[in-house]
Amino acid sequence: MALLELHGVDAFYGRVQALHGVTLEVDKGEIVALIGSNGAGKTTTLRTISGLMHPAKGQVIFDGQDITFTDAAKIVQLGICQSPEGRRLFARMSVLDNLLMGAYSRSDRANIARDLKHVYELFPRVEERRSQIAGTLSGGEQQMLAMGRALMARPKVVMLDEPSLGLAPILVETIFAVIKEINDEGTPVLLVEQNASKALSVAHRAYVLETGVVAKEGTGRELLESEDVQKAYLGM
């Protein structure tokens, strides 16, 4: 059984159905990419997993436990952490406070201090800015902080929503390098991206969402070489 599984999930915004029977899984040690165009349901899928919304039908199973209707706060404690779309930093709190908020649901002080050090190693820029308030960071620094904050929860799965959005190409490289590094340390990553070629090249496996339906799945390489995907998402 995989670490995180979605089975036939239907989700609605009011009366509009955003997901139609989405089934996917993330296993230990994997980077799984979720690609698709705007409004395909990528963010909705993440919100359903992290408990910010609950599906009308289907199941979300994490570590063998049904978390379909579990509270967001509880899900964080179980070990799923999300770096949300648009980063959603706490703009008027300091960088350090943002990172500590990431560790909010933990009480193991000594380990938190160690993880803080680790995040600073991954993102030296974040350490330089630790007493600055988050809203004054540049876009790239904010993205690094958002990822660092997600890591501070010491998650069993980390979900990144559009980490490369709006960043300069050189920063996109840095961000993806760190995603690989996080994964090499053993944390599975569920990655939502519009930058499909970048995402597919780092992902072990990937799913293509189209208007709320999983249209295609396969290894990163398979999808990268697939003609449909190239046409629709890679602009070739």
Partner 1 sequence: MISTLRDPKALRRRLRDWSRDPNMIVYGVLLVGAILFPPIASFATGTNTLTGLAADAGVWVLLAIGLNVVVGFAGLLDLGYAAFFAIGAYTYALLASTQLGSSPLHHAVHLPFWFLLFLAMFVAASAGALLGAPTLRLRGDYLAIVTLGFGEIVPRIFRNDPGHFTGGINAIGNIDQPTLPVCVDGPWSRGDDLHLNFGLANCSFSITDPTAYYVLMVLLIIACVILVSNLQVSRLGRAWAAVREDEVAAAAMGVNTRNIKLLAFAIGAAFSGFGGAYYGAKLSLVSPDNFDFTVSITVLVMVVLGGMGNIAGVIVGALAVYFLEFKFLTDLPRNTHALVDAIGLGPLLDNSNPATGWPGIEDFVGRLNFLVLGLILVLMMLLRPQGILPSRVRAQELKAEGAQDDTVFDQRAGQT
Least distance (Å) between residue 56 CB and partner 1: 20
Q: Which residues contribute to the site for partner 1 (CB under 8 A)?
A: 38, 50, 52, 71-73, 76-77, 81-82, 84-94, 96-97, 100-102, 104-105, 109, 112-113, 116, 132-133, 135-139, 142, 149, 153, 162, 165-166
Alpha carbons within 13 angstroms on the beta-carbon side of residue 39 total: 3
Angle in degrees, 0-180, between the axes of helices 109-122 and 95-102, rounded to the nearest 10: 120
Closer residue to partner 1 (CB): 86 or 124 = 86
Quote the CA–CA distance of 46 and 18 in Å, as a whole number: 12
For residue 194, the minimal CB distance to partner 1 (Å) is: 10
Residue 132 or 211 having the CB closest to partner 1: 132
Nearer to partner 1, 9 or 137 (CB): 137
| Least distance in angstroms from the C-beta of 132 to partner 1 | 7
**Nearest-angstrom CA–CA distance, 54 and 171:** 34
* CB 15 to partner 1: min, Å: 22
CA distance 182 to 91: 25
Of residues 124 and 139, the one with the C-beta less far from partner 1: 139
Sheet holding 205-210, edge to edge: 80-83, 157-161, 189-193, 31-35, 205-210, 213-219
- The residue among 45 and 142 lying less far from partner 1, judged by its C-beta, is 142
Q: Please tell me whether residue 199 adopts helix, strand or coil conformation.
A: helix
CB of 63 to partner 1, least distance (A): 17
Helix (H, G, I), strand (E, B) or coil at 41: coil
Q: Left (φ > 0), alpha (ψ -120 to 50) or beta: where does 109 sit? A: alpha
